[in-house]
């Protein structure tokens, strides 16, 4: 079972549209996102560290027009 608090490299590839590990690491570093490496050199990070960087997922629901 995976810990939902962590986002592993396969999901990070999809989120940031980076399909190689070096490009994903560069993207994370350019955006100032702190990440860790697993034993195979693949990045993973805490979900809370990328909350502001996710696109298409609003953190607060939009208000209804009046």
Mean pLDDT throughout 4-27?
93
pLDDT of 42 above 80:
yes
* pLDDT for residue 51: 82
Asked if 45 contacts 7 with a C-beta cutoff of 8 angstroms, the reply is yes
* pLDDT for residue 27: 95
Whole-number average pLDDT of the chain: 83
Asked if 10 contacts 43 with a C-beta cutoff of 8 angstroms, the reply is no
Q: Which two tokens stand for residue 63?
A: 């208000």
Provide the whole-model pTM: 0.70
Ranges of each domain in the chain: 6-51
2 in the Ramachandran plot: left (φ > 0), alpha (ψ -120 to 50) or beta?
A: beta
CA distance 31 to 25: 10
For the beta carbon of residue 35, count every other beta carbon within 10 angstroms: 18
């Amino acid at each position: 079972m995976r810990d939902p608090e962590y986002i592993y490299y396969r999901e990070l590839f999809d989120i940031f549209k980076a399909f190689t590990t070096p490009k994903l690491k560069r993207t994370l570093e350019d955006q100032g996102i702190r990440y860790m490496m697993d034993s195979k050199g693949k990045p993973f990070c805490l979900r809370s560290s990328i909350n502001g960087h996710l696109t298409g997922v609003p953190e607060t629901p939009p208000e209804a027009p009046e």
